Amino acid sequence: MMFKYYKNATLCTCVMLLLAANPIWAQRKKNNSNLSEGEKLAVDKNFLDANREKIMGNDVHALDLFEAVIKVDHKNAASYYEASHLLWKQKKALKAVEYANIAAGLYPDNEWYLMWQAELLQRMGENKQALKVYEQLVEIKPNNIEFYLLKASALFDEKKYTEAIDVYNEVEKRFGVDPTIIREKQRIWLKLGKVDKAAAELEKLIAKQPDDPTYYILMIELYQANNLYDDVLKTIKRLETAQPNHPAVALSYAEYYRTIHKNDLSFNWLQKAFTNADLQSELKTKVLMSYIGLAQDNDTMMQQALELSKIFSQTNSAEFIPHAMYGDFLMMDKQLEPAMLQYREALKIEKNNVQIWQQLLQCSAELNNYQTLADDSKEAITFFPDQPLFYYFNGVANGILKKNDEAVQSLNNGAKLVVDNDNLLVEFFSSLGDNYHSLKKYTESDAAYEKALKIDPRNIPVLNNYAYYLSLRKSNLSRAAEMSKLSNDLSPDNGTYQDTYAWVLFQQGNYAQAKDWQAKAIKNSNPPSGTLFEHYGDILYKLGEVAEALNFWKKAKETGEFSDLLEVKISRSAYVEN
C-alpha cells in the first residue's frame, strides 16, 4: 500500500533499489530502532520521498523532507549527511558544516561522512580540523591510498612539508613506488630548496624503468631549471646510452648548448632532432613558432628557420603544416616563388585551409602574377564562398587582365560579404570604380568612388584616381580639383598625385598653375614616366612654348611609355586631343 503515495512507481522503485544498496541507507535503518512504529513509518516515508525529490532536482522540497526526518529521529546520520549536501548547494555553509559534523560524529567509522566533513572543513579554511579527519580516515581504512594522499595534501597546505613527505614515504612502503607520488615528493623537496632530494626521487623511477626516457627527461629539466649544467650534461649522456635514437637526446643537447651560449652546436643538434621521424610534429611546430619573432630582423635566425622548416617539410612531407610553415618563412624572406610551391604542396594535402590560400594569393599579388592570381582566387572561392578577400583578389586580377566584366562581378559579389571591415570595403568600391571606368560605365564608376569616400573621405588613392578619371572625361572638374588638391595636402611631394592635380588644372584651362605642378611631379618622380613628360609637353604647348613642348614629347617617346597620340603630336608639332 505504500506506493499509493507516489505518482511514478518506476521512479520510486529505482530510488528504493539505490538506497537499499547504499551503506548510508543501512545505517539510517539502524538509527530509528528506538522510535515507535508510527514514527518509523513516518521517517521511512519522508526519507524515501526526500531522496526521490533530490533525484528529480527538487532540492528545496528534498531538504524540507530530510529536516522532517531529523526532527523525529535526532540520530539519523544519513539525513544529516544528505541535508548537508543540499544546504551547501543553497550556500548555507555554516549549517552544512554543522550537519556534516553531526553525521560524522554519529558514525565516526563511515568514510563517506568523514570525507564530506573534511571536504567542507577545507572549503571553509579549517585545514587543521580537516587534517584531523584525514588522519581518522587513514586509521579506519589503512589500505585506501586515497586517504593517505588527502592527508599529505592537507599537510602540504598547512606547510608541514616534512610530515607530508613522511606520509608519501608510508604510501611507498604500503603500495610501492608510483610516479605520481614521486612527483609530489619532488615538488615538496623543491619547495624546501633541496634539489638533490628531488633528484633522488626521480632516480627511483629511473631504477625502476631504466629504459624509459621520461624520467631522464624530467631529471634533465630539473637540473636545467636549477642551472646545474654539469648534471644536465651527465644526465643527457645517460639518456643517450639508454635510448640513443630517441629525439629527446638531440633536443636536450640543443637546449643544453643554447643555455651555455654555444649556439652553433645547439643548432646542429636541433637539426638532428628535426631529421628524426620520431619527433612529434607538434613539437617541431612549436620550435618553429618560436623563430617567427626572432627571424624577422635577424638573418642568422632566418636562415636557421628556413633550414629547420625545410627539413620539417621533407621528413613530414605527408602533412600540410610543415609545407605551410616552410612557405611562411620563405615568404618572410621574400622568396615568393619557392613559397608558392610550398603552399601548393600544402593545399594538395589540405584544400580547406583559408590561411594557406590567403598566403598563396598574397604571393601572386606581390609577384604581379595576375593570371595566376585570377585562377587561384577563382578556385579558392569554390572552397570558401563566404570569404570576401578571395573575391577582391579575383576582381583586382581580372581588372588588370582587362577582363573588366568578370572583375565587376567578383567585386560586387565580394562586397556583399564584407562585415565590420571598412578598409576592405573601401578597396572593393575603389576597384569597382576603376573597372566601371574601363567599361565606360561612368555613372556606376562615380557612384562606386563616392561610396568609398563616404566611408573614408581622406583615402588618398581613391581621391587621386577619381579625380584623374574625372579630368580625363572633363567632367565635374571642380570636384576633381577639390579631391586632387586634398590628396596632395595629405601626401605632399608625391609625383603621381601632383601629375593628377596638374592635369585637372590643365583641363580647367589653368595652364600656368598646371605647369608648376607638373614640374613638381617630374622632380618628385624617380625616374619620371613618359606620361609625365607627355603631360608637361601638352601644358607647355598650351602656354605657347611649342619648341620646349616638342622636346618633352620626344623625351616621352624615349621612355617607351606614351599615349597613342604622341607620335601625331611630334609629327605635327602640335597638341592633339582624342
Confidence band of 251 (pLDDT split at 50, 70, 90): very high
Residue ranges and CATH numbers for the domains of the chain are 1-124 (1.25.40.10)
Phi-psi region of 494 (alpha: psi -120 to 50; beta: other; left: phi over 0): beta
Q: Tell me, what's the pLDDT at 32?
A: 55
User: Please, are residues 392 and 431 in contact by the beta-carbon 8 Å criterion?
Assistant: yes
**Alpha-carbon dihedral 63, 69, 71, 76, rounded to 10 degrees:** -110
Q: At what angle do helices 442-455 and 460-473 cross, to 10 degrees?
A: 150
Q: Tell me, what's the pLDDT at 128?
A: 83
Which tens digit of pLDDT belongs to each residue from 432-455?
Answer: 999 999 999 999 999 999 999 999
Q: Tell me, what's the pLDDT at 500?
A: 97
pLDDT at 30 over 80: no
Q: CA 286, CA 304: separation in Å to the nearest integer?
A: 15
pLDDT at 70 over 80: yes
Q: Tell me, what's the pLDDT at 29?
A: 47
Give the CA distances from residue 164 to residues 5, 116, 129, 450, in Å, rounded to whole numbers and listed in that order. Answer: 53, 21, 16, 75
Confidence band of 210 (pLDDT split at 50, 70, 90): very high
pTM of the model: 0.72
Give the CA distances from residue 10 to residues 3, 13, 17, 48, 65, in Å, rounded to whole numbers and listed in that order. Answer: 10, 5, 11, 14, 21
Q: Tell me, what's the pLDDT at 190?
A: 85
Which tens digit of pLDDT belongs to each residue from 43-63?
Answer: 888 899 889 988 999 889 989
